[in-house]
Structure 1
């Protein structure tokens, strides 16, 4: 009688393991790419936030540019003009602020510049070229607060601002010609060769005369 050979079935579990390994590899490749993309996005976002923070920190210092634009951002030019003039009048009222670092004088010039610009805006009068020249004088004081040439720079800025007031006066305020002339005289009497603190009274006189004109224009 012939012997019948019976073949044993090959086990299935090696194939199951192979399939699981392949699936695991696919899962790792797919989700690993997603994680890398998310990490890249997080890095970009972090860099953007850091750059914006650095920009904000660098620009945190208030300069005359920041302050000179605040006065006419209100709802109307009239309100802006009134606020700017009031701010200047309030600031120059305290003469005791004038110190050796010339902070008071520099700030007073900026406040005066804001007030005159706001009044010009009310009149629809373009004084941008004049103000650019005044800005350059103010920046000289900011760059070197201890310079001995400040009196000359203050005189230069004061005369420019007085000339702007005269232009505005001739256009809209004919009765204030004498008042504006007093501003011009006060600015001219500032001695460029004398230290600022040695002629506080004359510099304060200029600021007072300018305040008087702005008060009458309001």
Structure 2
């Protein structure tokens, strides 16, 4: 199940399996290993939604019974871009479904004083203008890092971009819509708000720390 908002900018995936796994991830006593596995599983479920609309064509094949014109993906392979470091948790799961995808990385960290993104790494495949690009990051909080990442991808030539996250705050959704109204957001949850430190509430804590056991 999905909930499409009227302007098409945001898709909230309400499928029962997605929501159940997200609840398990939110629990503060979920182990690092459990969190990592759940993130991989939920990323695959969300990948089905965000890859809707991939261009298709047909090719002639032989089944055991007879030839047929069968549907296959068309065009250049899509690009997955992980917004480091937490984006890697979503990236790994999606790559299991789309192992031929090209992969890029955007290294950004949030200055805890200003809440502004600071870039430290950027490496993406060539010919982004000819490919669908899916940027992945578990959290859309203030939206500053996500907007900065999309800015960089557009500067590198990307024109067909989608953004995948687990949790989104209303503030981050509004920031992304203002800066990049052409980028569809797919998320598993729209939470209440940001707190004074810029974290999503109720949220699930720092996704990177919980994934890698660094806190």
Higher-Rg member (1/2): 1
TM-score (norm 2): 0.27
TM-score (norm 1): 0.27
Q: Greater share of helix residues, 1 or 2?
A: 1
